[in-house]
Amino acid sequence: MEVTVNVNGTDHTADVEPRKLLVDHIRTVVGLTGTHIGCDTTSCGVCTVLLDGAPVKSCTVLAVQADGRSVTTVEGLKSGGELHPVQTAFSDEHGLQCGFCTPAMMLVGAALLEQNPDPSDEEIRWAISGNLCRCTGYMNIVKSIRAAAEAKATAAAGADS
Amino acid sequence: MTAHTTTPPEIGGIGHSLKRVEDARLIEGQGNFLDDISLPGMLYMALVRSPVAHARINGIDIEAAMAVDGVLAVVTGELMAAHNLAWMPTLSGDTQAVLATDKVRYQGQEVAAVIATDPYIAADGAELVDVDYDVLPAVVTPQQSLDPDTVVIRDEKEGQTDNLAYEWECGDDAATAEAFARADRVVSIQTHYPRSHPAPLETCGIVADVNPVTGQATIYMTSQAPHAHRTLFAMVAGLPEQNIRIISPDIGGGFGNKVPIYPGYVVATAASLVIGKPVKWVETRTGNLISTGFGRDYHMSGELALTDEGRILGLRVDVLSDQGAFYSDAQPSRYRAGLFHVVTGSYDFPAAHITCRGAFTNKAPGGVAYRCSFRITEASYLIERLVQTAAYELGIDPADLRFRNFIQPEQFPYETPTGFVYDSGDYPTALRKALDAVGYEQLREEQAEARAQGRLIGIGIAHFTEAVGAGPAHTYDIAGLKMIDSAELRVHPTGKAILKLGVKTQGQGHETTFAQIVAEQLGIPAYDIKVEHGDTDHTPYGLGTYASRSTPVGGAATAVVARKLADKARHIAAHLLEAAVEDIEMAAGKLHVKGSPDQAVTIQDVALAAYTNLPEGMEYGLEDVTYYNPPNLTFPYGSYIVVVEVDPDTGVWKVERMVALDDCGVRINPMIVEGQIHGGLTEGFAMSSMQWITFDEDGNCIGSNFMDYLVPTAWETPRFELLETVVPSPHHPIGAKGVGESATVGSPAAYVNAVVDALAHLGVRNIDMPVLPDRVWEAIDSAAS
Ligand code: FES
Ligand code: FES
d(CA B635, CA B615): 44
Indicate the residue among B282, B301, B318 that finishes a domain.
B282
Burial of B123: CB neighbours in 10 Å, binned 0-12, 13-18, 19+ = middle
With contacts defined as CB-CB under 8 Å, which chain A residues touch B202? 36, 38, 98, 100
The three-class DSSP label of residue B151 is coil
Q: Which residues in chain B are contacts of A82 at CB distance < 8 A?
A: none
Contact at CB, A137 and B23, closer than 8 angstroms: no
Among the three residues B224, B252, B282, which one is the final residue of a domain in this structure? B282
In a domain, B259, yes or no: yes
Tell me the pLDDT tens digit for each residue of B7-56: 999 999 999 999 999 999 999 999 999 999 999 999 999 999 999 999 99
Task: Write out chain B residues lying below 8 Å of A106, CB-based.
Answer: 27
CA dihedral sign of residues B327, B328, B331, B333: positive
Is residue B497 within 8 A of residue B562, CB to CB? The reply is: no
Q: Span B485-495, mean pLDDT?
A: 98
Q: Name the packing angle between helices B398-405 and B376-394 (round to 10°).
A: 110
* Alpha helices, H only, B690-772: 742-759
Judge whether B315 and B351 are in contact, CB under 8 Å.
yes
Q: Are A108 and A55 in contact (CB under 8 A)?
A: yes
Type of residue at B386: L
Stretch A100-113: mean pLDDT, rounded? 98
Integer-rounded Cα Rg, in Å, for chain B is: 27
One-letter identity of residue B715: W
Residues 6 or more apart whose CB falls under 8 angstroms from that of B578 comprise none
Q: Is A23 on the interface with B (CB under 8 A)?
A: no
Mutate to test the interface with B, among A25, A134, A138, A143 (most CBs of B within 10 A): A134
Of B316, B339, B314, give the one whose Cα is nearest residue B405.
B314
Say if B163 falls within a structural domain. Answer: no
Q: For an interface test with A, which of B42, B47, B127, B201 has the most A Cβ atoms less than 10 Å from its Cβ?
A: B201
Query: Is the shortest distance between the CB of A59 and ligand 1 below 6 Å?
Result: yes
* Shared domain check, B501 and B451: no
Buried b or exposed e, range B426-449, using 16+ CB within 10 angstroms: bbbebbbbbbebbebeebeeebee
Contact at CB, B33 and A36, closer than 8 angstroms: yes
pLDDT tens column, B736-759? 999 999 999 999 999 999 999 999
Structural domain boundaries in chain A: 2-76, 85-160
ipTM of the complex: 0.98
Interchain pair A41, B706: CB under 8 A: yes
Query: Are residues B86 and B40 both part of a single domain?
Result: yes
Residues B254-305 pLDDT 10s: 999 999 999 999 999 999 999 999 999 999 999 999 999 899 999 999 999 9
Residue B234 lies in a domain: yes
* Closest listed residue to residue B327, CA positions, set B354, B356, B355, B284: B356
For residue B1, name the pLDDT band (cuts at 50, 70, 90): very low
Q: What is the pLDDT of residues B638-675, one digit of tens each?
A: 999 999 999 999 999 999 999 999 999 999 999 999 99
Q: Which residues of B touch A74 (CB under 8 A)?
A: 27-29
Query: Cα–chain-centroid distance for residue A106?
Result: 5
Contact B739, B548 (CB under 8 A): yes
Q: Walk across the sheet containing A54-57 and list its strands.
A: A10-15, A2-7, A70-72, A48-51, A54-57
Residue B74 and residue B63: Cα distance in Å, rounded? 9
CATH code at B459? Answer: 3.30.365.10
* Single-letter amino acid, residue B584: I
Query: pLDDT digit string (tens) for B454-477?
Result: 999 999 999 999 999 999 999 999
3-state secondary structure of B597: strand
- Lowest average pLDDT, out of A129-138, B117-126, B232-241, goes to B232-241
- B556 shares a domain with B440: no
The answer to whether residues B511 and B12 touch, using CB atoms and an 8 Å cutoff, is: no
Residue B186 lies in a domain: no
Ligand 1 pocket residue status of A132, Cβ below 6 Å: no
Environment class of B155 (CB within 10 Å of its CB; exposed 0-12, middle 13-18, buried 19+): exposed
pLDDT of residue B498: 98
Based on the fold, state whether residues B614 and B714 are members of the same structural domain.
Answer: no
Strand bridging mode B217-221 / B110-116: unpaired
Please classify residue B40 by burial: count the beta carbons closer than 10 Å to its beta carbon, then call 0-12 exposed, 13-18 middle and 19+ buried. Answer: exposed
Amino acid B435 reads: L
pLDDT digits over B558-609, tens only? 999 999 999 999 999 999 999 999 999 999 999 999 999 999 999 999 999 9
State the Rg of chain A over Cα: 16
The pLDDT score that the predictor gives to residue A161 is: 66
CA B310 to chain centroid: 34
DSSP string, B59-102: EEE-HHHHTSTTEEEEEEHHHHHHTT-SEEE-TTS-EEESS-SS
In a shared domain, residues B119 and B244 = yes
B701 is known as an active-site residue: no
CA dist B329 and B226 (Å) reads 18
Residue B294: closest CA among B264, B260, B265, B268: B260
Cα separation, A12 vs B278, whole angstroms: 28
pLDDT exceeds 70 at position B483: yes
Contact B201 A36 (CB under 8 A): yes
d(CA B47, CA B37): 20
Asked about B393 being catalytic, the answer comes back as no
Fold agreement between A2-76 and A85-160? no
Identify the residue among A28, A97, A126 best suited for mutation to test binding to B, counting B beta carbons within 10 A and taking the highest. Answer: A97
Active site residue B170: no
Judge whether B453 lies within some domain: yes
**Helix, coil or strand: residue B657:** strand
Residues contacting B136, CB < 8 A, separation 6+: B54, B55, B56, B103, B151
Residue A43 to residue B706, Cβ atoms within 8 A? yes
- Rounded distance from Cα B315 to ligand 1 centre (Å): 46
Q: In the structure, what pLDDT confidence band is assigned to residue B3 with cuts at 50, 70 and 90? A: low
The CA distance from A71 to B650, in Å, is 43
- pLDDT recorded at residue B2: 47
Domain identity same for B650 and B780? yes
Of the residues B282, B316, B351, which one is the last residue of a structural domain?
A: B282
The verdict on whether B657 is a catalytic residue reads no
Ligand 2: residues within 6 Å at CB?
A: A 96-102, 133-136; B 201, 253, 507
CATH number of the structural domain spanning residue B113: 3.90.1170.50
Average pLDDT of the segment spanning B625-646: 98
Burial class (CB in 10 A: 0-12, 13-18, 19+), A3: buried
When CB atoms are compared, the residue of B30, B250, B720 closest to A139 is B720
Q: How many domains does chain B have?
A: 3
- What does A33-57 look like in DSSP terms, one character per residue? TTS----SSS-S-TTEEEETTEEEE
> Which distant-in-sequence residues (6+ apart) come within 8 Å of B354 by Cβ?
B169, B170, B171, B316, B317, B318, B319, B337, B340, B341, B343, B418
Does residue A98 contact residue B253 with C-beta atoms inside 8 Å? Answer: yes
CATH class given for the domain over A2-76: alpha beta
Q: Are B502 and B623 contained in the same domain?
A: yes
Task: Tell me the average pLDDT across B766-781.
Answer: 97
> If residue B253 lies in a helix (H) or strand (E), which one and from where to where?
none
Residues B519, B647, single domain; the answer is no
**Same-domain check for residues B613 and B750:** no
What is the spatial distance between Cα B223 and Cα B264, in angstroms, rounded to a whole number?
Answer: 13
Length of chain A: 161
Residue B474, Cβ density class (10 Å: 0-12 exposed, 13-18 middle, ≥19 buried): exposed
Question: Considering the domain boundaries, does residue B296 fall inside one?
Answer: no
Longest dimension (CA), chain B: 89
Distance of CA B438 to the CA centre of its chain: 29
Which residues contact residue B682 at a Cβ distance below 8 angstroms, ignoring those fewer than 6 apart?
A136, A137, A138, B712, B717
How many helices (H) and strands (E) chain B has is answered by 19, 34
Residues above pLDDT 70, as percent of chain B = 100
In 3D, which of B125, B48, B117, B113 has the Cα closest to residue B268? B113
> What is the residue range of B781's domain?
424-468+632-785
Q: Is the pLDDT of residue B551 over 50?
A: yes
Q: Are B766 and B756 in contact (CB under 8 A)?
A: yes
- The residue type at B289: L
**For B724-738, what is the mean pLDDT?**
97
Residues B691 and B590 in one domain: no
- Dist. CA B272–CA B289, nearest whole Å: 26
The one-character DSSP state at B578 is T
C-alpha B370 to ligand 1 mean position (Å)? 23
Q: Is the sign of the CA dihedral B504, B506, B507, B508 positive or negative? A: negative
Measured CA to CA, the distance from residue B348 to residue B482 in angstroms comes to 31
At position A18, the amino acid (one-letter code) is: P
CATH number of A85-160: 1.10.150.120
Cα of B709 vs centre of ligand 1, distance in Å, is 15
Query: Any alpha helices (H) in chain A, and if so which ranges?
Result: 22-24, 85-92, 102-115, 121-127, 139-160
B440 & B578 share domain: no
Are residue B523 and residue B547 in the same domain, yes or no?
Answer: yes
Tens of pLDDT along A24-41?
A: 999 999 999 999 999 999
Residue among B96, B107, B224, B516 flagged as catalytic: B224
- The CA-atom distances, in angstroms, between B727 and each of A37, A145, B7, B730, B737 are 42, 34, 20, 9, 10
